[in-house]
Amino acid sequence: MASEPQEVTASPLVKLNNGLTIPQLGLGTFLSDKGLVGEAVKQAIKMGYRHIDCAWVYMNEEEVGSGIDWAINEGICKREDLFITTKLSGSHYNEIKWALNDSLKKLRLDYVDLYLIHLPFEMKNDPTIKSLADLKKEHCIGYNAEKMSKVWSELEQLVSEGLIRSIGVSNFTIKKLEAILKTAKLIPVVNQVEIQAYFQQNKLRSYCKSKGILIQAFNTLGNPGLFKGKLDVEPLLDNAEVKQVCEKHRATPAQVCIAFGLAIGDILIPKSVTESRLRENFKSINLKLDEDDVKRLKSLDKNLRLYTMKAFCDPAGIPYEEFFDVEFDSSYQI
Ligand SMILES: NC(=O)c1ccc[n+]([C@@H]2O[C@H](COP(=O)([O-])OP(=O)(O)OC[C@H]3O[C@@H](n4cnc5c(N)ncnc54)[C@H](OP(=O)(O)O)[C@@H]3O)[C@@H](O)[C@H]2O)c1
C-alpha cells in the first residue's frame, strides 16, 4: 500500500540573487494591531513560520520584536533561522541610518535580513504622525530618480557595514527599477508589490525575472479585512473558480490563493493575527496545485489593483500616473 505523503512542516527556501535564501512563505504584519501582533508572531514561529515582513511605518515593530525575542529565548529558533524584513519609510530618506537603527532597536535585532525602500516616494518627516491614519497627501513630496539612486547607494553602504544582509525595493514599476539599476552596484533582491489572482502584473514579473529580481507579493488573499464590501467584484476568497479548486483539493480559499502564489514562484507574506488562520495559511505549503488549477487561477487576472494608494494619490497628492507609471486602470478606488 502506498504510504501517505509526508506533511511538510517548513516553508520552501528560495535563493536570492546575492546567494542568500528566503523562506518562500512568511508572515505579514501590516494592520496587525498592537496587543495582538506579538502573540501572533509567537504563535507563527511556534508553528514553523521563519520569515516575518515588517515596516517602520506599521508602527508595531516593538511588539513584533518582543515576539521574536520570546521565540529565541524559549529556544524555539535561533536568530539565524529567522528571516526578518523591514522597510525604510519615505519620510526618512535624509536619515536612513537613524531609521534603520530605530527599527533594529524596536525589533531587538542587530541586523535585518532584508531592508526595502517601502515606496519610491519621498514624504515629509512630520513627528506629529503617530499612526498610519495620520499620513496625508500633504505629506507627499514625490518621486525623484536621482534621490532614489542616492538612497539606494546609502543602503548599499549599510549592507557593507553588516546592518542589513540584503536590500530590495517595494512598489517599484519597471520605469523606476530601470532608473535605479542605472547606478546600482547591488541588484535589488526583491520587488515587493501587490500581486493577487485579480492583479497578476505579468509584464512587471517578466521584467523582474530578466534582472534576477524576485517578486515578493502582498495582498495574496485580497485582504478581506480591508477590502471586503468595498469592491464591485466578488472578493477573491469568495470567487467561484477559487472555490472549485478548493473543492477539488479539500482546501480553503486562502490556501488555494497562497498555493497559487507559491506555484508561480512568488515569495508570499499573508497576514493574520488569528491563530487558526496562521495555521491554515501555513499548511498551504502542502497543497500542490496541478497545471489545470494554475491555468484556471491565472485566468482570473482582471488587471484589478486593490491597493490604489488613494491616501497618497490624486487629488492633491502624487498623481496616480506618476505613482504607478500607467494610465489610471482601475475604477475601484478604495
Ligand atoms: N510593501 C507594501 O507597500 C505593502 C502593502 C500592503 C501589504 N504589505 C505586506 O504584505 C502583507 C500581506 O498583505 P495584506 O495584509 O494587505 O493582505 P492579505 O495578507 O491578503 O490579507 C490579510 C487579511 O486577510 C485575513 N486573513 C488571513 N488569513 C485568512 C484566512 N485564512 N481566511 C480568511 N481571512 C484571512 C486577515 O485577517 P486576520 O488578521 O484578522 O486573521 C487580514 O484581514 C502585509 O501584512 C504587509 O506585511 C506590504
pLDDT digits (tens, 9 = 90+) for 67-107: 999 999 999 999 999 999 999 999 999 999 999 999 999 99
Does residue 282 have its Cβ closer than 6 Å to ligand 1?
no
pLDDT interval class at 292 (50, 70, 90): very high
| Structural domain 13-324, CATH architecture | Alpha-Beta Barrel (3.20)
139 annotated binding-site participant: no
Across the chain, what does the average pLDDT equal? 92
Q: What is the pLDDT of residue 136?
A: 76
pLDDT at 312: 73
Q: Could you tell me the pLDDT band of residue 315, with boundaries at 50, 70 and 90?
A: low
Please tell me the predicted confidence (pLDDT) of residue 3: 58
Mean pLDDT score, 306-329: 73
> What is the reported pLDDT for 178?
97
- Report which of residues 157 and 134 the model is more confident about: 157
pLDDT tens sequence across 265-281 = 999 999 999 999 999 99
Give the pLDDT score at 127: 83
State the pLDDT at residue 52: 98
pLDDT tens figures, 204-247: 999 999 999 999 999 999 998 888 888 888 999 999 999 999 99
In this structure, which residue's CA is closest to atom 13 in ligand 1? 219
Q: Best mutation site among 27, 43, 223, 278 for ligand 1, i.e. most ligand atoms within 8 A of its Cβ?
A: 223
Residue-wise pLDDT for 169-216, tens only, equals 999 999 999 999 999 999 999 999 999 999 999 999 999 999 999 999
Residue 314 has a pLDDT of: 63
Q: Residue 328's pLDDT is what?
A: 59
Going from the Cα of 38 to the center of ligand 1, the distance in angstroms, rounded, reads 16
Q: What is the pLDDT of residue 78?
A: 98
Please write the tens of the pLDDT for every residue from 38-50: 999 999 999 999 9
CB of residue 85 inside a 6 A radius of ligand 1: no
Question: What was the pLDDT predicted at 233?
Answer: 87
Query: Residues 26-32: what's their mean pLDDT?
Result: 96
Residue 329: what pLDDT? 56
What average pLDDT does range 119-141 have in this prediction?
82
From 49, 58, 143, 198, the catalytic residue? 58
Asked if 53 and 85 touch (Cβ cutoff 8 Å), the reply is yes
The best mutation among 218, 226, 267, 307 to test binding of ligand 1, ranked by most ligand atoms within 8 Å of the C-beta, falls on: 218
Residue 319 reports pLDDT greater than 80: no
> pLDDT exceeding 70 applies to what percent of the chain?
95
The reply to whether ligand 1 has any atom less than 6 angstroms from the CB of 11 is: no
Predicted local confidence at residue 182, as pLDDT: 97
Q: pLDDT at residue 63 above 60?
A: yes
Q: Give the pLDDT score at 142.
A: 87
Catalytic site includes residue 49: no
Task: Find out whether the beta carbon of 219 lies less than 6 Å from any atom of ligand 1.
Answer: yes
| pLDDT of residue 311 exceeding 80 | no
In this predicted structure, the answer to whether residue 330 has a pLDDT above a threshold of 60 is no
